[in-house]
Structure 1
Amino acid sequence: MDRRKVLLVVAAVVAALGTVLVFLYVRGADDRAEQRFETVEVLRAVAPIEPGEAIEAAAQAGKLKLQPVPQEALLTGYQTSIEGLAGTVALTRVYPGEQIISSRFGGASAAASSTLPIPEGMLAISVNLSDTARVAGFVQPGSQVAVFHSGVDPQSQQPYTRQLLERVQVLGVGSTTPVSTTTTTQDGAQTTEQLPRTLITLALDKRDAQKVMFASSAGELGFALLTESSKLPADRGVTAADLFRS
């Protein structure tokens, strides 16, 4: 076999190997994407479960429902049936939308002394948020969130959005209440719609609690869901003047 034929054979082998490697990479990427968005049917509360209420009683009353949850949003101790919690009662109030997890249930004696798990030296306060402001319902007890505030600057009278707190622990997700919102179009027509708002309970020190309570009455709050590695350095926020600046 002359040199030219050898080079052609080598080129064909390299091309075939490259095709196989590309195929394997694409298939692996597809598998990773599917795994990321794959959901698991887990038990979630659809009605409030009171402290001391037996898991069997809650299920019989229709307060539990299997619902799909993305794998990345699964909490430690999630349940797919009540069998793993048989004979237990709720240690704290479980709000609609919360995943049913083992740490929220225990024996009757434990329920008698259980309270909201507020970290030492902290306060617990609740704020009322829309679904979009609480990351479409992905915020759950134990989540870490950044708090943003949208309001109007008292000096410039210009609207802004700015980071208020870098990292806050969520203690509980409360009941959802529909709130009527009326909007007016340019031709004067009014449209009223029901928007759900949900109570979120946070663990804060006194200073941050004051900030959140004031901000909630002087504008709109919004949460951003964090991971352990999320870093949000403070900045001056965004106004209409620099909205499109890089």
Structure 2
Amino acid sequence: MAAAVVAALGVVLVLLYVRGADQRAQQKFQTVEVLTATAQINPGESLQQAAGAGKVELRAVTHNELLPGYQTSTSGLSGQVALTTIYPGEQIIASKFGTSATPTSPLAIPAKMMAISVNLTDPARVAGFVQPGSTVAIFLDGNQGGQPFTRLLLPKVKVLGVGSTTPVSTTTTNAQGQQSTEQLPRTLLTLALDQADAQKVLFAQGNGELALGLLTDNSVVAPGTATTLSNLFK
């Protein structure tokens, strides 16, 4: 009798274990279709805008891979925008959306300053040796009353970024009136300036040619008189 009871109990326990294993296996491989990014969603972009641009789709995800706050439709986050960049393959979750997104800049702009960009040739940007984080002096080649001059415009400026390079045609005329055209690559450089210096650089760029001087910790640079033909050899 005792042996029969033990055997019966063993059978019941085996059946319960097998049933539990089946349930666990079903839960492990059972999937839910959740919204997933297929392209980058930028901060400030609503889920409806992203869906309209084809940036999200429903994708089957197993229960073990579900993230808290997952979404199965766009209606759950209606009127909200992405608070951070959402990359392709990420699940759309509630914690990454809100009522407003604070714009962020990839540039480390110093306090009380702004970023402006200038378009310079390779020689004017020290043959490409100027890099983000460099400190430079800015010179202006200009013409005042028919008199060409070169003068220091700003003694010390921080470079925030170096952008793309594009070829630009430049035409020059010699003393005999003959013109020559050459292709010079120009590169966008982004500088950190306060308002007054930004206005100087923008005005100078529109009324002359800018050139940079790359500085080191030991460089000596100070404002001075303009160099012209009359004092070039003094």
Give the equivalent residue in structure 1 for 2:213: 224
Corresponding residue for residue 130 of structure 1: 121
State the secondary structure of the residue aligned to 2:108.
coil
Query: Aligned ranges for residues 187-198 of structure 1 at < 5 Å?
Result: 190-198=179-187
Question: How many percent identity over aligned positions?
Answer: 60
Task: Sort the Cα spacing of 1:121 and 1:187 in 2 relative to 1 into closer, same or farther, 3 A.
Answer: closer
What is the aligned partner in structure 1 of residue 138 from structure 2? 147
CA distance 1:219–1:120, change in 2 (3 Å): same
Matches of 1:189 and 1:147, distance apart in 2: 30
Q: How much has 1:229 moved relative to structure 2? A: 2.0
Structure 1 residues 242 and 211: CA distance shift in structure 2, 3 A: same
Assess, with a 3 A threshold, how the Cα gap between structure 1 residues 230 and 113 changes in structure 2: closer, same or farther. Answer: same
1:234 to 208, 223, 227: 223
Structure 1 residues 227 and 192, CA gap change in structure 2 (3 angstroms): same
TM-score by length of 1: 0.51
TM-score of the aligned structures, taking structure 2 as reference length: 0.53
Structure 1: distance between partners of 2:227 and 2:174: 26
CA-based RMSD: 2.7
- For residues 218 and 187 of structure 1, the distance between their equivalents in structure 2, rounded to whole angstroms, comes to 24
Q: Does 1:169 align with 2:158?
A: yes
Gaps of 5+ in 2: 1-39, 43-86, 88-95, 97-102
Aligned length: 138
Q: Which residue identity does 1:159 align to in structure 2?
A: P
Gaps of 5+ in 1: 1-49, 53-107
The code of the aligned residue for 1:118 comes to I
1:177 is matched by which residue type in structure 2? T
- Structure 1 residue 204 and structure 2 residue 193: aligned? yes
Shift of 1:114: 5.3
Paired with 1:237 and 1:174, the residues of 2 have a C-alpha distance of: 30
Aligned to 1:18: none
Match for 2:196: what amino acid? R
Alpha-carbon distance in structure 2 between the residues aligned to 1:188 and 1:146: 33
Looking at structure 2, the residues matched to 172 and 191 of structure 1 have their Cα atoms a distance apart, in angstroms, of 32
1:92 aligned partner: none
Change (3 A) 1:113 1:190: closer
Q: 1:228 to 1:236 in 2, by over 3 A?
A: same
Structure exhibiting the larger radius of gyration computed from Cα positions: 2
